[in-house]
Amino acid sequence: MAKAIQLAVLKVLMIIIFAGWIAVWIQKPTNMWTRKWKGAEDSSRYTVFGYYGLNFAVYTFPLISLTIIGLVYLNLVSKEPPRSRPARSATIGFSNPVLVNSFLGILSSIEILAVFLFVLFLAWTYYARISNDFKKLMPVKSLNLDLWQLRYLRVATRFGLLAEACLALLLLPILRGLALFQILGIQFEASVRYHIWLGTSMILFATIHGASTLFIWGVSHHIQDEMWRWQKTGRIYLAGEISLVTGLVIWITSLPQIRRRRFEIFYYTHHLYIVFLIFFLFHAGDRHFYSVFAGIFLFGLDKLLRIVQSIPETCVLSARIFLLPGKAIELTLPKDPRLKYTPTSVIYMKIPSISKFQWHPFSITSSSNLDDHTMSVVVKCNGGWTRTFYDVIQAELDSDTGSMSCMPVSVEGPYGPASLDFLRHDSLLMIAGGAGITPFLSILKEIASVNSSRYRFPTQVQLIYVVKKSQDICLLNSVSSLLLNQSSTKLSLKLKVYVTQEERSDATVRGLVHDLSLVRTVNFSTECTNYAVHGPESPIWMAAMAALSSIKFMVSLICFNHIFLPHEKKSAVTEKILPSEKKAAKEKTPSSVVDLLLLASFIIALACNTFLASILRWKGLKKDIRPLSPKHGKATEHGSVETGSPVEEHELHFGGRPDFQDIFSKFPNETGGSDIGVLVCGPVSMMESVASLCQLKSQGLNIGSRGKKTYFSFHSLNFTL
């Protein structure tokens, strides 16, 4: 009861902080806010915190505090005992698809509402700024502009503020350890599309801002004088141009045509975000930078803490190579027995022998309830990096040295959902396409491993698996015992396989799985390291690091400003100074110096926390080092399917795609459940087809043939190989 009260209080506190932060952004374009804000800055200038302390407290710290409280909330949720299946919530429909579009994807009502409110906010910001500008048009001293040119220049300037609003949110969806979206149950892989939307919008507004400004300079014949200026105070135009060009390069190389075919180009050019952000700071100045600084601060801290986590390298224990043209490998890695993760979790892995810089995500296919000392991932070798990895293992196999050398790897994660509410339905309909089967492997193992009555997972599960070739069924190898020997578990699992590009009528699932179950297992040496995968630190530890970093940043910034900048003390004399004289006093210090002090404080705060995190990490690892069981020997070929019941309950279809309408109609009667969870993972077209059916069901076409009301809850999963 006490924990429930604590969770409720934290929820209310997060809502209040978020509402206050939103209210600041809504009032920011108004004249009233501008007047009061200037007065507040002038009053705080003479305090120990200065005007920068006020900017940090109002614009930046609310999101940092929201993250800290959210991590405390997630820590309490993770320690909460497993709940029984909750009653169907009246708001469950908000998670179901409302709009299914090939361009926008699958959108729920909450996502549509959030996008609408954000667009409305951008429109309000732009209208408020432009209307005030046109009422108080002031000529630019350095430019001799006509009235229309002056107005168009103000229009261009205000588009820059829209880009700034997008930048304030841009980095929040791609946080992993300090993930704000995890509080809402949205995982990193799903929230990446919000990052794409915000990035595209930001580049669009920034391009209009920059191109329009250059156009006005061109028609007024001042382009040569203005575009190369690095002013001592105010907007530094050259820095803005460098930032814009860098942003365009990042955006162009992020397009699907380049990202999918030339991943290395996308990966390396994306690191130009450091150049983009630094020159944005010089262009916009520290006051504007505080508006977007929260996301940058959290992203920098998140990135460095993830690097600390991945520095101790572990090693590959074994690899199971499926002897098929598809070239799939199941890797087994050592893990700490205390590391627990939820189904559908993802790890990020780097193999230095292949690439010292590239990280690639992989869905975990094992269950931490079944495997205390190991974890498994499946690698489908269909890209440049994965093919190189396959060739390295194949070369080791062909070397005939008698034992496999040690293969060090760096691991980040696992990252997964904070709760398993998406599994707490009467029954599950799981639909997978191709490599999209990988998240379901961990789900099936998790459900089958549950023996306690405290867990209320569904026992009626139907798995629809769509593949192009029958050889792709080999990915089911790790759950073959569940498929063919269900008498030993409480799970009732029915498999329907659809092979779309083959014609064959005499095969069965049992026979096909047996034929494709031959694998070649390779055991690796473990002499190079004794470290197992320990996973990320606890949420409460991450919250403490975020709080310490913000304190160190403010302390460093206060010290630097008092050392390097002239400090004004409020007195009767300073109060009588005219505004023009105050402005002249401020301009004695170049704005780039103030920006550099902010940047230095940021670097020092993160560096100190990274150093502290490294010390704590290494101390913890040295206490917990356990020798890994060394495995040597040549590869062996064997089958992993046990003989089971001769009854064939599964279905195998060749030469066609599944009729999802028919499957949805029959499923309630086959399972007897009224609350059905629909989990889908695979190609976009298949996910959109399933989402469209769930959309129809949620609109009232959800009456089973037995006359019982049936609820379909849609959940799209993301897979990585």
Segment 188-210, tens digit of pLDDT: 777 888 999 999 999 999 999 99
Residue 627: per-residue pLDDT = 56
CB 151 within 8 A of CB 157: no
**Nearest partner of 500 among 475, 469, 476, judged by Cα:** 469
More confident residue, 21 or 486: 21
Residue 706: per-residue pLDDT = 45
- Residue 59 DSSP code: I
CA 427 – CA 448 distance, rounded (Å): 14
CA 378 – CA 349 distance, rounded (Å): 12
Residue 160: per-residue pLDDT = 93
| Same domain, residue pair 290 and 409 | no
Please report whether residue 329 resides in a domain.
yes
| Same domain, residue pair 452 and 383 | yes
| Same domain, residue pair 345 and 480 | yes
| Same domain, residue pair 350 and 334 | yes
The mean per-residue pLDDT over the stretch 82-99 comes to: 54
CA 524 – CA 633 distance, rounded (Å): 8
Report the share of the chain in percent with pLDDT over 90. Answer: 30
Angstrom CA distances, 151 to 2, 140, 216, stand at: 59, 11, 10
Please report whether residue 282 resides in a domain.
yes
Burial 452-464 (b: 16+ CB within 10 A, else e): eeebbbbbbbbbb
Please report whether residue 664 resides in a domain.
no
With tokens 């997060």, the residue in question is 14
The mean per-residue pLDDT over the stretch 472-496 comes to: 76
Model confidence over 129-153: pLDDT tens digits? 999 888 887 777 667 778 888 888 8
Please report whether residue 445 resides in a domain.
yes
Please report whether residue 716 resides in a domain.
no
| Same domain, residue pair 242 and 369 | no
Q: Which of 500, 523, 546 is the last residue of a domain?
A: 523
The mean per-residue pLDDT over the stretch 419-439 comes to: 83
Please report whether residue 661 resides in a domain.
no
Q: Is 688 exposed, middle or buried (0-12, 13-18, 19+ CB in 10 A)?
A: middle
- The total number of structural domains in the chain stands at 2
The sign of the dihedral angle between the CA atoms of 236, 242, 248, 251 is negative
Residue 646: per-residue pLDDT = 42
Query: Residue 707 pLDDT more than 50?
Result: no
CB 279 within 8 A of CB 372: no
Q: Which of 490, 523, 556 is the last residue of a domain?
A: 523
Cis amide prior to 439 (ω within 30 degrees): no
CB 337 within 8 A of CB 373: yes
| Same domain, residue pair 180 and 245 | yes
Please report whether residue 528 resides in a domain.
no
| Same domain, residue pair 163 and 231 | yes
CB 445 within 8 A of CB 370: yes
Where residue 518 sits, what CATH number does that domain have?
Answer: 2.40.30.10
| Same domain, residue pair 346 and 264 | no
| Same domain, residue pair 299 and 317 | no
Helices marked H in 340-465: 384-399, 438-449
The sign of the dihedral angle between the CA atoms of 422, 424, 430, 436 is positive
Q: Which two tokens stand for residue 326?
A: 């598809």
CB 422 within 8 A of CB 455: no
Q: Which residues pair with 410 in a beta bridge?
A: 350
Residue 720: per-residue pLDDT = 61
Q: Which residues pair with 497 in a beta bridge?
A: 465, 652
Look up the domain containing 171 and give its range. 1-81+97-309+537-565+591-620
Residue 633: per-residue pLDDT = 43
CA 649 – CA 677 distance, rounded (Å): 22
Per-residue confidence at 704, pLDDT binned at 50, 70, 90? Answer: very low
> Which of 16-20, 101-105, 354-358, 478-482 has the largest mean confidence?
16-20
Amino acid at 254: S
Query: Residue 632 pLDDT more than 70?
Result: no
Burial 264-273 (b: 16+ CB within 10 A, else e): eebbebeeeb
Query: What does residue 484 show for φ and ψ, rounded to 5 degrees?
Result: -105, -10
Range with the poorest average pLDDT among 52-61, 436-445, 535-544, 578-587: 578-587
CA 233 – CA 215 distance, rounded (Å): 23
The bridge status of strand 460-467 relative to strand 97-101 is unpaired
The mean per-residue pLDDT over the stretch 418-443 comes to: 83
| Same domain, residue pair 292 and 320 | no
Residue 555: per-residue pLDDT = 95
Q: Which of 466, 497, 523 is the last residue of a domain?
A: 523
Query: Residue 662 pLDDT more than 90?
Result: no
| Same domain, residue pair 340 and 286 | no
| Same domain, residue pair 130 and 33 | yes
